[in-house]
Amino acid sequence: MEPIIAIALVLIGYSLGSAKIINQGNEALVERLGQYHRKLRPGLNFIVPLIDQVVMEDTTREQILDIKPQNVITKDNIYLEIDGVVYWRIKDMEKSFYQIDDLAQGLNQITTTTLREIIAQNSLEETNVSRVDMDKELLDRLNETTADWGVEIQRVDIQSITPPESVRLSMEDQRAAEIKSRAAILAAEGERQAAIKKAEGTSTSMQILSEALRSTPENKEILRYLVAQDYINASYKLGESPNSKVIFVDPGSGSNEIVEQISAETVAEDTARRPNGNGNGSEN
């Protein structure tokens, strides 16, 4: 009876020692007598106790490597503090274990080194403008190296680029000057457009008045009334100003001069349109 119990205990111990459960999203490497033997997939797996040994189990899911702020120097000798994040995953578990001793340290080292090289090729202005391009270049260059480690870099994000305080103040002053300059240009353009519209409106008004006087000479009295009314309105606006002065103007006299000028221009236009200026369209 005792031998049977002993055999049963041995078999139970063997089963427990040989059974290996790998969680979903993970993989494991097995060595037999010190040499790589096979890879264990998620689920229940069996190995030979004492002969086989699980030397590594790791996740194949995406992982995040937070790059601590690094002091780098640009092409125009400006020191920057750059912070970034690398998203990566193990694509080949065997390479990630046998090709590099410390994978996390290696990824951190190669990322910071490559980042310094890329920043050194750009000026401060280029660094601020082309952050997306630098992310892509960093991603491509990292994958060239990490492919031998069985690692795939999926995304790189440069989260912040912080220049020194003196440079930040200078950049803020420059941006403020640019905003002020753009505002002045827009204001000048607005004034130019307003002047054009005003000139077009004045020209249209003169044409309408000319046509009205040409068709009905009696409209001169109406025109005198409108001109006199403009004088009165202008006088009111002048009186509302705190620095205004009292000026006496004869609306009738001024309106007569304006009306006569418009009438003269109208007659001149009619004469110019007639052949030879005689108004009958025939030659003498």
CATH number for 79: 3.30.479.30
Tell me: do 147 and 66 sit in the same domain. Answer: yes
Q: Which residues of the chain, if any, have pLDDT below 50?
A: 248, 252, 255, 277, 279-284
Asked if the structure places residue 283 within a domain, the reply is no
| Residue 25: both structure tokens together | 């999203």
Nearest to 111 by CA among 149, 77, 75, 76: 149
Asked if the structure places residue 270 within a domain, the reply is no
Tell me: do 158 and 179 sit in the same domain. Answer: no
How wide is the angle at C-alpha 119 spanned by C-alphas 113 and 125, nearest 5°?
Answer: 165
Tell me: do 139 and 200 sit in the same domain. Answer: no
Tell me: do 125 and 75 sit in the same domain. Answer: yes
In single-letter form, the type of residue at position 277 comes to: G
Asked if the structure places residue 20 within a domain, the reply is yes
Range of the domain at 217: 174-230
Tell me: do 71 and 155 sit in the same domain. Answer: yes
Strand partners, 81: 71, 162
Asked if the structure places residue 244 within a domain, the reply is no
DSSP code, position 41: P
Contact 90, 151 (CB under 8 A): yes
Residue 279 is predicted with a pLDDT of: 47
How wide is the angle at C-alpha 133 spanned by C-alphas 128 and 134, nearest 5°?
Answer: 70
| Residue 261: both structure tokens together | 């000028």
Contact 45, 17 (CB under 8 A): no
Tell me: do 81 and 143 sit in the same domain. Answer: yes
Tell me: do 148 and 186 sit in the same domain. Answer: no
Tell me: do 153 and 179 sit in the same domain. Answer: no
* Domain total in the chain: 3
The 10 Å Cβ neighbour count of residue 138 is 22
Q: Last residue of a domain, which of 142, 163, 184?
A: 163
Residue 184 is predicted with a pLDDT of: 74
Asked if the structure places residue 48 within a domain, the reply is yes
Separation in Å, CA 107 to CA 5, 102, 159: 53, 9, 18
Asked if the structure places residue 156 within a domain, the reply is yes
Q: φ, ψ for residue 157 (rounded to 5)?
A: -125, 120
Asked if the structure places residue 110 within a domain, the reply is yes
Contact 93, 150 (CB under 8 A): yes
Q: How many residues does the chain have?
A: 284
Q: In whole angstroms, what is the distance from residue 146 CA to residue 151 CA?
A: 5
Q: Last residue of a domain, which of 187, 213, 230?
A: 230
Asked if the structure places residue 207 within a domain, the reply is yes
Tell me: do 194 and 122 sit in the same domain. Answer: no
Residue 96 is predicted with a pLDDT of: 93
Residue 189 is predicted with a pLDDT of: 79
Q: Last residue of a domain, which of 11, 31, 59?
A: 59
Tell me: do 69 and 158 sit in the same domain. Answer: yes
The 10 Å Cβ neighbour count of residue 39 is 15
Separation in Å, CA 45 to CA 9, 61, 96, 238, 263: 21, 20, 21, 99, 109
Tell me: do 69 and 44 sit in the same domain. Answer: no
Residue 277 is predicted with a pLDDT of: 47
Tell me: do 110 and 188 sit in the same domain. Answer: no
The 10 Å Cβ neighbour count of residue 250 is 10
Nearest to 69 by CA among 135, 156, 159: 159
